[in-house]
Amino acid sequence: MKLIGSYTSPFVRKISVILLEKGIVFEFVNDAPYSPDSHVSHYNPLGKVPTLIDDNDQAWFDSSIIAQFLELRGSEPALLPDDPWLALHIRQVERLADGVSDCASIIVREKLRAPEQQSAEVLTRHREKILRGLDKLEAIAAEGKWLNSGTLNLADVATGCMIGYINFRHVAPNWCVDRPALIKLAENLFQRESFARTAPPAS
């Protein structure tokens, strides 16, 4: 298998973590979609990462779809329960964490623009979404049912990658204030080999 993406993307990291957790051998192709010489659009018409090329040269894109594909292969450990309703709850938490990552990515791209071109409205709106998302994830993690249960699932992976990204990009520097359940989750996840090996580069 071949995983195409960038080292800093939380969505690429999510798939890398899943592949490592499941012990699936893969080749990583570093290709930033915003680079002028990027080849990402050759595999994904939307020009987004991650894209996974399977053993039959089929291209899969969107991290949620790729995660589902990897579950359907049957490789252990399973990151979703067999019960479709229970799995749906976990998938919704996954999408919530991914949504926070999306908002953080928008802020990062907006701040790359010249200061006079940046939109204060865009920055404020997405910071508010991040905080609301983190509040909801904290409540879910504190409950310990769909997130932070002690058994790794897809929601844990997505949330851990999201926290790693907002830490890396300094998008929400005080996110940990009054969110002890998320702190506990992050501490446990970041000790796993799969997260240690996929941490974004320091520079």
Instruction: Give ranges for CATH 3.40.30.10 in the chain.
Output: 2-73
pLDDT tens for 159-170 read: 999 999 999 999
Place of tokens 């067999």: 82
Q: Categorize the per-residue pLDDT at 150 as very low, low, confident or very high, splitting at 50, 70 and 90.
A: very high
DSSP 62-96: SHHHHHHHHHHTTPSSPSS-SSHHHHHHHHHHHHH
- Calculate mean pLDDT across residues 117-131: 97
Instruction: Give ranges for CATH 1.20.1050.10 in the chain.
Output: 84-192
**In the chain, pLDDT over 70 holds for what percent of residues?**
100
- Calculate mean pLDDT across residues 57-77: 97
Asked if CATH classification 1.10.260.40 holds for the domain at 84-192, the reply, yes or no, is no
pLDDT tens for 174-199 read: 999 999 999 999 999 999 999 999 99
Asked if CATH classification 3.40.1710.10 holds for the domain at 2-73, the reply, yes or no, is no
What pLDDT score does 129 carry?
98
Residue 89 pLDDT > 60, yes or no?
A: yes
Q: Which H or E run includes 53?
A: strand 51-53
